[in-house]
Structure 1
Amino acid sequence: MKPSQQGDLFAASEEELPEGVRYDAAVVPDFEQSRLLEYVSSLPLKPFDFHGFEGKRRVVSFGWKYDFETERMTPAENIPDILLPVRALAAGFAGIEANQLQQALVTEYAQGAPIGWHRDKKVFGRVVGVSLLAACTFRLRRRAGAKWERFSLRVEPGSAYLLSGPARNEWEHSIPPVDTLRYSITFREID
């Protein structure tokens, strides 16, 4: 049985993950997670708005914001100084310079909140996600003829994942409804 083709995959090695995906369960130290959680829980998060549809998750963008109505990037408030250390950790994990990660999206997933299947918009390059407070299942899929190739990864608090190359451009990703409150900080390159 090839594990990458079956069910959820909770302890995948990089060889089993789709090309362009990297994952490390221990990127953000506990003290940094505590500091970030105090900050992100105080942010003025707003329901995610997608063409008039309000998602169950709440978000705030820094650096740049993607406007779904105009399908363009618009400037947002600068990435706050308090997020710069975690951006540096995310960039180090991804093997890129921190200033290449020009956009930060802070997301709150209340209990039961999902994010559906999607690919990040083409204006973005590499994507580095940081998970906080609770674990979730991060799913990936891509069409393979009449079927789908699928992978699942348990994303732990303090972990980071990277989507680049084929994983960024060919695969979709999603998160099923979470069991408990969770936050994420997604850093993106602007292409």
Structure 2
Amino acid sequence: MATKVNCLPFTIPTLPRLGLADLEKRFGRLARLMYDTSVPLATLEKEVYPHLAPGIEFVNPWRRVRGVETYRVDLSGARGCARFDLDISQMSVRLCEPRHAGRALVDGTLYLRPLPRCAIPLRMVLTYDFDMIEGGESFQIARHEEMWRLGDILRSAPLIGRAHDVFRSCSGYVFTGAVLLSRALLGHPSRAEAARAAR
């Protein structure tokens, strides 16, 4: 009796991997959980902490810390300070070529709420460098960076804000005047002369 041979090409079953859309949804949720002080600690422990690498590094304009224990203390400790929450304007996720690591970029506004009906907006850009784990089914964050401008904080301050806006407007004119003066002193050609020379 002849045996039946399976002639289909040999294939290795692969686990479904997280796509870019899935990663964007997950990082959007993670960022909102991390930057909303009304989120309970139990939710952070369940949904955020499993995605933190042991050697995670956190960087912002004022400080740099390393290690998951310190990161977790900072994250949970923020719940006892000023109230704030995050509104995400846009975000994107990119994977490196072998798809074993990537970066998520979150552009949004952090609303500091020192008083019940007072919200101070702070433009913030967040980056999350991450490594894919479990065959592409999950990820761990290796580096988290906050980028924001001190000028935005000054603009939001009740007394300093207006003075900061006036200073920025004046410094803009001073800078433009300095550029025009340097061009005149160095004898740079005007636009008309540059156009004639290009012909």
Higher-helix-fraction structure: 2
TM bin (shorter chain): under 0.3
Q: Which has the higher contact order (CA 8 A, sep 6+)?
A: 1
- Taking structure 2 as the reference length, the TM-score comes to 0.26
- Taking structure 1 as the reference length, the TM-score comes to 0.27
Higher-strand-fraction structure: 1
Return the index of the structure with the highest Cα Rg: 2
